[in-house]
Amino acid sequence: MRTFIRGGRLIDPSQSLDRVADLVIVDGQIEAVQSPDATGPAALDASSDHAIDARDCLVMAGGIDVHTHIGGGKVALARLLLQDLTDGPESEFLPSPTVAAQRYLQMGYTSCFEPAVLPCNARAAHAEMALAHGLDTGGYCLLGNDDLLLQMIGDGVPQVMVNDYVAAMVAATQCIAVKVVNPGGINAFKYNVRDLDVDTPHPRYGVTPSEIIRTLCRAVYEIGLPHPLHVHCSNLGVPGNIASTIKTIEAADGLPIHLTHVQFHCYGDEGPYGMSSAAQQLVRAMQKHPNVTVDVGQIMFGQTVTISGDTAHQFANHRHAKPRKSALVDIECEAGCGVVPFRYRRRQFVHSLQWAIGLELFLMIDDPERVFLTTDHPNGAPFTSYPHLIRLLADHSFRETALAEIHTDAAAASDLSGLDRQYTINELVAMTRVGPSKILGLGDTGTLRPGAPADVVVYPQRSTWDQTFAQAKYVLKSGRCIAGTDVPSTGSGRPQVSTAAESLHRTHRVDLSLDKSAWKSIVRRYPAAGSSSLGRLAISDDEMRTQLGSTLVNHAPRPRQR
Ligand SMILES: [Zn+2]
């Protein structure tokens, strides 16, 4: 099938493309970019099965969210806990996966990655994500508080054994990357330790968070995962935590490392409130360490819910719950998590400063392929606030108006008023498409290059950036038009998402084949250290296809390093 997107402004910073042209799509892939007056078979409107009028529109690849909690045990638990606060599956900050997918597609996002897939919960996480009809998804396997890994590092086993374990867990859980949350700190909580700083030894295994980071960064690099170790640092939300964030960067020893929701890890302890912005320190550290990428985890004012595997932090946080209820579950097991509803308020100094720090980071980090647009959905805000956030970044006067409304002491303590940068459309596309694809190793996804999968969005150019990015006119997935204001509704009560979306779900994973002998030895060792038997954990390709209803998209690892 041939589709012809006519006369839009095509934007793809990966090939310095920014001009009015026609985009030709054949059989689910981008075929060519043609000048509007080009002749030749591909340019002939008449030869197309489907033609889309994109005049006065922006045309770009579908958005990619590198960190959003849309599936898995703790999201389901949060929905259960907050039934009275949310409006069922349609909730603003806890939508069902199907509704989340509809909203992402309406905003022009086509791929989303769930960053906290606990190995013993991976099957449920994939089953839930498979209900995100029309979206591509993928998961990051959560390691770094599992007893076997801590024991191996503490015992000083050779790196190659750790590598085999990490590779086996990623393959068994059908994941694309590895994430660590509060390295060792969640496990230490079980031994009556309430915070574990980067150089503090674990009370049982003697290993420090710094050693866990170093070992896992190396494992991820050596087994060839494209995405660097995805790190939720120690001491989330604690004033002065910039010191542990910088030590975490140094622990990577120059290997690639990605710091997630870094706004929550970027605090000094100066000033009358004992909390200050450390954005400049982090930016300087990123200049010194080109191996570091970050996503921000911007907060927005309003009601949301925090859901995290960082049980130690959620235990400390639960007294701030709004409304006053929370759940900390399975702490003794490896799938422990905490759910704490939360309301960010403008009139609170801390919340206002958090808002300002997030924006400082976006605006101070020059390279849009090293900083990614996230709210750590739903922890900082629901993902549906992205259009508003984009306008804050791209419209200086809008940002100034918003800054005038926050707590005055927080505004005075922030450098935000001195930052007049406005993101350009090319920078926005780099931050939400090209950069995320590169950092996840998704090949040509996120670009409009010939041969790339035709995940393409057509946005109408409206008078403000938030209006432009709130609702796409057309969203194409693998060349099929599945959402958008100009795509006819199905009459099923689901606005602007076609039934074609329902047949499309794909899971991105790295094609690390499960090494049978390494797996057998891990299964044997695991019961002595872990809290469950591993024998049932591995999810086969066939199960993904036939039971969970998802097509696997394989990405090749880099060659193994030794
Ligand atoms: Zn998160």
> For position 132, what pLDDT does the model report?
94
Using the mean position of ligand 1's atoms as its centre, give its distance from the Cα of residue 510 in Å: 21
Using the mean position of ligand 1's atoms as its centre, give its distance from the Cα of residue 232 in Å: 8
- pTM score: 0.95
Using the mean position of ligand 1's atoms as its centre, give its distance from the Cα of residue 336 in Å: 14
Using the mean position of ligand 1's atoms as its centre, give its distance from the Cα of residue 24 in Å: 37
pLDDT at 7 over 80: yes
State whether residue 465 is helix, strand or coil.
helix
Sign of CA dihedral 133, 89, 318, 296: positive
Strands 371-372 and 337-344: unpaired
Query: How does residue 86 score in pLDDT terms, banded at 50, 70 and 90?
Result: confident
Using the mean position of ligand 1's atoms as its centre, give its distance from the Cα of residue 37 in Å: 47
The mean pLDDT value for 78-94 works out to: 81
> For position 348, what pLDDT does the model report?
97
Q: What is the pLDDT of residues 359-398, one digit of tens each?
A: 999 999 999 999 999 999 999 999 999 999 999 999 999 9
Residue 470 neighbours by CB distance under 10 Å: 20
Using the mean position of ligand 1's atoms as its centre, give its distance from the Cα of residue 305 in Å: 12
DSSP letter string, 161-230: HHHHHHHHHHHHTT-SEEEEESTTHHHHHTTT-S---TTPPPTTT---HHHHHHHHHHHHHHHT-SSPEE
> For position 504, what pLDDT does the model report?
75
Using the mean position of ligand 1's atoms as its centre, give its distance from the Cα of residue 257 in Å: 16
Using the mean position of ligand 1's atoms as its centre, give its distance from the Cα of residue 377 in Å: 7
Q: What is the pLDDT of residues 179-225, one digit of tens each?
A: 999 999 999 998 999 889 999 999 999 999 999 999 999 999 999 99
Question: What percent of the chain is modeled with pLDDT above 70?
Answer: 94
The mean pLDDT value for 71-88 works out to: 82
Q: What is the pLDDT of residues 248-273, one digit of tens each?
A: 999 999 999 999 999 999 999 999 99
Q: Residue 548 contacts by C-beta under 8 Å, 6 or more apart in sequence? A: 123, 126, 127, 130, 539
> For position 457, what pLDDT does the model report?
98
> For position 493, what pLDDT does the model report?
45
Using the mean position of ligand 1's atoms as its centre, give its distance from the Cα of residue 284 in Å: 24
> For position 503, what pLDDT does the model report?
62
Using the mean position of ligand 1's atoms as its centre, give its distance from the Cα of residue 279 in Å: 20
The mean pLDDT value for 489-514 works out to: 69
Higher pLDDT, 323 or 86: 323
Using the mean position of ligand 1's atoms as its centre, give its distance from the Cα of residue 408 in Å: 29
Using the mean position of ligand 1's atoms as its centre, give its distance from the Cα of residue 308 in Å: 7
Using the mean position of ligand 1's atoms as its centre, give its distance from the Cα of residue 194 in Å: 20
pLDDT at 534 over 90: no
- Give the DSSP H or E segment for 104: helix 97-106
Using the mean position of ligand 1's atoms as its centre, give its distance from the Cα of residue 383 in Å: 12
Higher pLDDT, 390 or 523: 390
The mean pLDDT value for 3-18 works out to: 97
Residue with tokens 């393959």: 171
> For position 50, what pLDDT does the model report?
83
The mean pLDDT value for 425-447 works out to: 97
Using the mean position of ligand 1's atoms as its centre, give its distance from the Cα of residue 68 in Å: 6
Using the mean position of ligand 1's atoms as its centre, give its distance from the Cα of residue 179 in Å: 10
The mean pLDDT value for 105-120 works out to: 95
Query: How does residue 309 score in pLDDT terms, banded at 50, 70 and 90?
Result: confident
Check residue 497 and report its DSSP letter: B
> For position 44, what pLDDT does the model report?
47
- With residues binned 3-state (H G I as helix, E B as strand, rest as coil), the percentages for the chain, rounded to 5, are 40, 20, 40
Using the mean position of ligand 1's atoms as its centre, give its distance from the Cα of residue 69 in Å: 6
Query: How does residue 498 score in pLDDT terms, banded at 50, 70 and 90?
Result: low
302-308 β-sheet, strand order: 302-308, 337-344, 327-329
pLDDT at 122 over 90: yes
Using the mean position of ligand 1's atoms as its centre, give its distance from the Cα of residue 375 in Å: 9
Using the mean position of ligand 1's atoms as its centre, give its distance from the Cα of residue 234 in Å: 13
pLDDT at 491 over 80: no
Using the mean position of ligand 1's atoms as its centre, give its distance from the Cα of residue 185 in Å: 16
Using the mean position of ligand 1's atoms as its centre, give its distance from the Cα of residue 380 in Å: 9
Residue type, 98: T
Using the mean position of ligand 1's atoms as its centre, give its distance from the Cα of residue 54 in Å: 36
Question: What percent of the chain is modeled with pLDDT above 90?
Answer: 77
70 vs 75: CA distance, rounded Å:
7
Q: What is the pLDDT of residues 31-50, one digit of tens each?
A: 999 987 665 544 545 556 78
Using the mean position of ligand 1's atoms as its centre, give its distance from the Cα of residue 539 in Å: 23
Using the mean position of ligand 1's atoms as its centre, give its distance from the Cα of residue 358 in Å: 15
Residue 304 neighbours by CB distance under 10 Å: 25
